[in-house]
Amino acid sequence: MTTNQARIFGIVAALGVAAVGRAQDATLNNTNTLAKTDGVADSTPAYHPFSISAEAGTTGIGGTARWRFSDHLGLRVGGDYFNYNGNRTYSGINYGGELRLLSEPLTLDIFPWKDRSFCLSLGAALNQNRLTGTANPAPGTSVTIGNTTYTAAEAGTLNLKIEPNLISPYVSIGGNLFYFDSGHHCALAGELGVMYGGNPDVTLTSSTGVVTAADLANETHKIQNDANYTKFWPVLKLAVNISF
């Protein structure tokens, strides 16, 4: 059998299989193949190239848009946001503060299998997570800042800010967990990974000018040691994914 005859035979066979099932989506690149999507034999395409999702997880609530431009590669951009107000104690000083989660990842998605949604995502996130807080010692009390004990009046209002590196490496794995329809247009998806924010930048100031720079630096160092535990931010998400 010549090369051209083999090609013609392959095309005819593929068209015959497609005729038994449903017609493939003409917008996809896999129009001549009976696909197996996520390991289940079906007449649906191996994958849909575009998808959008609504998601929630450890990075906040938001959404993602993905373009799978080839069998094994894709691009993804997203954004998540969440805001929480609460109290946190550092070195015996209680701060009332606000935790803001705000990040926008951009990744290259690598799909090991053409007919599966599972992928490895590598990229970076615009990491605008931030913790801000203020401490106002009660009148008549005292607080230790650095190595010195100050009265409430001397300490005044303490202002704290903790921020990670703005550009943070981002790596995760994920994919569709199960489908809601036979055409595989709607699915519940999951993602597991990490965003590396590095050692966070910690800023601490006093409103009075009485607290020495050395004590503020010493106190900042103590808070820095605690904040360093957050440099690896976990990524755990569930999403409703719409593909087309």
Domain spans of the chain, in order of start: 1-34, 36-243
Instruction: Please give the sequence-ordered ranges of beta strands (E in DSSP) within the chain, or none if there are none.
Output: 36-37, 40-41, 50-57, 60-67, 73-90, 93-110, 119-127, 130-135, 142-145, 148-151, 158-163, 167-179, 186-196, 201-206, 232-243
Residues 6+ apart with CB under 8 A from 196: 168, 169, 170, 231, 232, 233
**CA 114, 116, 117, 120 torsion: positive or negative?**
negative
For the full predicted model, state whether its pTM sits above 0.75: yes
Give the largest CA-CA distance in the chain. 97
The residue ranking higher by pLDDT, 112 or 2, is 112
Q: Which CATH number fits domain 36-243: 2.40.128.120, 3.40.50.300, 1.10.10.10, 2.40.160.170?
A: 2.40.160.170
Give yes or no for residue 37 having a pLDDT over 70.
Answer: no
Q: Which pLDDT score is estimated for 43?
A: 62
Q: Is 36 exposed, middle or buried (0-12, 13-18, 19+ CB in 10 A)?
A: middle
| The token pair that represents 150 in the structure block | 């100050």
Give yes or no for residue 67 having a pLDDT over 70.
Answer: yes
Measure the CA–CA gap between 62 and 238, rounded to whole angstroms: 11
Tell me the mean pLDDT in the region 157-184. Answer: 96
Per-residue DSSP letter, 228: G
Per-residue DSSP letter, 157: -
Q: Which pLDDT score is estimated for 45?
A: 84
User: Please, what is the average pLDDT of the chain?
Assistant: 85
Whether the CB-CB separation of 230 and 164 falls below 8 Å is answered with yes
Give yes or no for residue 226 having a pLDDT over 70.
Answer: yes
What are the φ and ψ backbone dihedral angles of 185, each rounded to 5 degrees? -95, -25
Give yes or no for residue 86 having a pLDDT over 80.
Answer: yes
Q: Is 9 exposed, middle or buried (0-12, 13-18, 19+ CB in 10 A)?
A: exposed
